[in-house]
Structure 1
Amino acid sequence: MSPTTLPAVGGAWMVTPAVATTRFDRARTCGAAVTLVDLEDSVAPHDKDAARELAADFFATASPAGPLAGVRMNSLLTREGIQDLLALADYASRPPLVLVPKVESARDIEIAATALDRDGHAPQIWALIETPRAIENAASILRAPRLAGALFGAADYALLTGGARTWEALLHARSVLANSAAAAGVAVVDSPYFDLDNLDGLRREAELAKALGYVGKTAVHPSQVPVINEAFRPSEEELAHARAVVAARQKNGASITSVDGRMIGAPFYAAAVALTQRADLTSDRTGSEGVRP
Structure 2
Amino acid sequence: MVTPGISPDRFATAAGSGADVALLDLEDSVPEPQKDEARRLVLRFLRLHDQGEATFPATVGVRVNAPGTLHGLKDLAELAEHGHWPDLLLVPKAESARDIGLVDQIRGDASTPSQVWALIESPRGIQNLTDILRAPCLTGVVFGAADYAAEAGCKITSRAMWYPRAILAAMAATSGLPAVDSPYFSLHDPDGLRREAEEAAELGFVGKVAIHPAQLPVIQDAFRPSRSELEFARAVVEAADAADGTITTVGGAMVGPPIVAAARSLTARAGHEPASRRTKGSDHE
What's the TM-score once normalised by structure 1's chain length? Answer: 0.88
- Listed one character per residue, the Cα deviations across residues 192-216 of structure 1 (whole Å, up to 9, x for unaligned) are 0011100110000000000000000
- Larger-Rg structure: 2
Instruction: Label 1:186 to 1:281 Cα distance change in 2 as closer, same or farther (>3 A).
Output: farther
For each residue in 1:99-144, what CA deviation from the matched residue of structure 2 results, as whole angstroms up to 9, or x when unmatched?
0000000111111111114242221000000011000011221222
User: Given the alignment, which residue of 31, 38, 43 partners 1:44?
Assistant: 31
The answer to which structure, 1 or 2, has the higher relative contact order (CA under 8 A, 6+ apart) is 1
When the two chains are superposed, the root-mean-square deviation of aligned CA atoms in Å is 1.7
Residues 117-136 of structure 1: pairs in structure 2 closer than 5 A? 117-136=108-127
Map of 1:24-103 to 2, 5 A cutoff?
24-62=11-49, 63-103=54-94
Are residues 1:238 and 2:212 paired?
Answer: no
Kept in 1: contact 2:83–2:110 (CA 8 A): no
CA distance in 2, matches of 1:203, 1:100: 27
Aligned residue pairs total: 270
**8 Å CA contact 2:225, 2:270 repeated in 1:** yes
Equivalents in 1 of 2:63, 2:273: separation in Å? 25
2:188 to 174, 194, 197: 197
2:139 aligned residue (134, 148, 158): 148
Structure 1: tracts of 5 or more residues without a match: 1-13, 284-293
Counterpart amino acid of 1:73?
V
**Bigger shift: 156-165 or 242-251?**
242-251
The C-alpha deviation readout for 1:228-266, integer Å capped at 9, x for no partner, is 111111223322221221121111124311112221111
Which is worse superposed, 113-122 or 23-32? 113-122
Q: 1:282 and 1:225, CA in 2 relative to 1: closer, same or farther beyond 3 A? A: farther
Query: What's the secondary structure of 1:61's corresponding residue?
Result: helix
Q: Distance in 2 between matches of 1:47 and 1:235?
A: 44
1:162 counterpart residue number: 153
Normalising by structure 2, report the TM-score. 0.90
Q: Aligned pair in 2 of structure 1 residues 151, 194: CA closer, same or farther (>3 Å)?
A: same
Q: Distance in 2 between matches of 1:27 and 1:111?
A: 29
Unaligned runs of 5+ in 2: 275-285
- Over 3 Å counting, the alpha-carbon distance change for 1:195 and 1:89 in structure 2 is same
Percent identity (aligned): 49
Q: 1:92, 1:216 → 2: CA distance?
A: 29
